[in-house]
Structure 1
């Protein structure tokens, strides 16, 4: 009898954030859940980065402005994917922006830091052109390493009701 009362009292003390995470998974966050969240992040980052590199190359920009554009577009496309999903689920745009910022900022930042760091470390990658195999090989390697580095971050955040856990309450 005491257990039932305690469970009800504990449930009454849960915050809105607890319920946001609660609807997604029971128990500890799985690596699969974290990988799906990271893949979502990687998709937006990849679209933005590749578009930024194509634009920078087409405009004959130097590496730094091209990289800055690619990072900005990675954030824009990363946020846009979440905005699309949560507004489609019925969330008003203003609230959806807050959800996207809360869900994606850390994930995209880690993804961008790691993948751009890898590209900087691969000899010749910064000077490779879109038609060079080195460009695409280095980019694929950078995305793979960034995925592996960001997945544990997302697992940790989701497990605490942060990051992509904020979005899960809007998935049906």
Structure 2
């Protein structure tokens, strides 16, 4: 059943994207919160790092699959990763912001981690159907 395989593949691809994005997102949030930066700068740092780590994970994974270099792999994955990361970042930052995870005094506050966990889950489920559609339409490279 090709549809079932596409769904299973989209589960895997979305999880891979989530891990890459979340590493960058978490690093950015931790920097912003610990340095008491404004929410705008905290989000900016988190988004930039999420894109950097997310794209790096995807490009590196694709590079390791075949005999292509990182530039070639980036050319293959840029569109699908851009869409996935964008949706994931919007959802994760909205959830984190509204749950107060960015308004805490320290990363040691439980609210910071609870908000991040909810944002993590929301980011996954918001991006999953988009990745499924992109894979079905052959618009997302699978790594």
Q: TM-score, normalised by structure 1?
A: 0.75
**Map of 1:108 onto structure 2:** 85
**Map of 1:96 onto structure 2:** 73
Contact persistence 2:10–2:135 (CA under 8 A): yes
Q: Which range is displaced more, 94-103 or 77-86?
A: 94-103
**Map of 1:125 onto structure 2:** 101
Say yes or no: does 1:139 pair with 2:116.
yes
Match of 2:29 among 48, 53, 59: 53
Matches of 2:110 and 2:68 in 1, distance apart?
43
Aligned length: 140
Matches of 1:167 and 1:98 in 2, distance apart?
13
Matches of 2:113 and 2:119 in 1, distance apart?
10
- Structure 1 unmatched ranges of 5 or more: 1-25
Aligned structure 1 segments of 4 or more residues deviating by more than 6 angstroms = none
**Map of 2:46 onto structure 1:** 70
* Cα offset, 1:33, TM superposition: 1.3
Q: TM-score, normalised by structure 2?
A: 0.89
Contact persistence 2:34–2:107 (CA under 8 A): no
**Map of 1:167 onto structure 2:** 142
Matches of 1:108 and 1:94 in 2, distance apart?
19
* Cα offset, 1:85, TM superposition: 1.3
- Structure 2 unmatched ranges of 5 or more: none
